[in-house]
């Protein structure tokens, strides 16, 4: 059973849900073949093997499965029911502890100090950042990878981090690793930059 989140795709989020449902309906089986992002694979040996992990905008669960196989109980939140059904079906076939929640991340909430790990890959919802700060336990891990602005011709510039924005949103957090990389142009996109940041919430 896929649980509803604090928002059920009403209002403006309904259009996003339809768009992503259509995309996963067409591409979801191919996405199921993808391995967890390399940043997560590189960080997994350092993460706790017990506790709760949030996979924000989890999609079909490529990173959810990596976290769950590591030993964590995973909450996989996404706006697309199509993606979550694929995620849940694969998790059950592998007997992995993944709970899927249908939610708009701009309104999704978790109890303070409830998470040991939060991962956020190629998704930016600024309204969710205060929840990340609150939901992580002291010493908890944040793994964040998404596009950074810096070019004048980017489509949908609000979907891109500003330089330095991520660290400013988590003041005082320990940077475990931080890199930026230029992504070559593709048929659908021009030159873009990606920021990868692994951080820990202060323990005290």
Total domains present in the chain: 1
pLDDT of residue 158: 74
DSSP-derived letter for residue 94 is T
Is there a contact between 62 and 76 (Cβ–Cβ < 8 Å)?
no
Is there a contact between 33 and 61 (Cβ–Cβ < 8 Å)?
no
Low-confidence ranges of the chain (pLDDT < 50): 7-11
DSSP-derived letter for residue 2 is P
pLDDT of residue 87: 96
**Residue 54's CATH number:** 3.40.50.150
Which range marks the domain in which residue 103 is found? 3-200
The Cα–Cα gap between 37 and 118 comes to 14
Q: Which single residue is written with the structure tokens 């330095």?
A: 164
- In order, the DSSP letters of 129-169 are HHHHHHHEEEEEEEEEEEEE---TT-SSGGGSBPTTHHHHH
pLDDT of residue 9: 42
pLDDT of residue 202: 96
Look at the pTM and tell me if it is higher than 0.85.
Answer: yes
Instruction: Single out the residue of 95, 73, 66, 98 nearest to residue 84, CA to CA.
Output: 98
């Amino acid at each position: 059973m896929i649980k509803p989140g604090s928002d059920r795709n009403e209002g403006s989020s309904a259009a996003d849900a339809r768009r992503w449902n259509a995309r996963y309906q067409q591409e979801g089986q191919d996405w199921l073949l993808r391995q967890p992002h390399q940043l997560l694979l590189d960080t997994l040996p350092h993460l706790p093997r017990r506790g709760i992990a949030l996979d924000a905008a989890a999609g079909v669960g490529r990173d959810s499965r990596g976290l769950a196989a590591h030993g964590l109980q995973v909450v996989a939140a996404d706006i697309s029911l199509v993606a979550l059904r694929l995620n849940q079906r694969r998790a059950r076939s592998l007997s992995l502890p993944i709970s899927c929640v249908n939610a708009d991340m701009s309104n999704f909430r978790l109890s303070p100090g409830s998470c040991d790990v939060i991962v956020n890959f190629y998704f930016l919802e600024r309204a969710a950042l205060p929840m990340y700060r609150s939901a992580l336990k002291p010493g908890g891990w944040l793994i964040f990878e998404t596009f950074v602005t810096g070019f004048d011709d980017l489509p949908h510039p609000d979907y891109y981090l500003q330089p330095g924005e991520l660290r400013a949103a988590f003041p005082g957090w320990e940077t475990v690793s931080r890199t930026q990389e230029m992504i070559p142009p593709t048929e659908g996109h021009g030159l873009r930059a990606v920021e990868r940041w692994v951080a820990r919430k202060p323990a005290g």
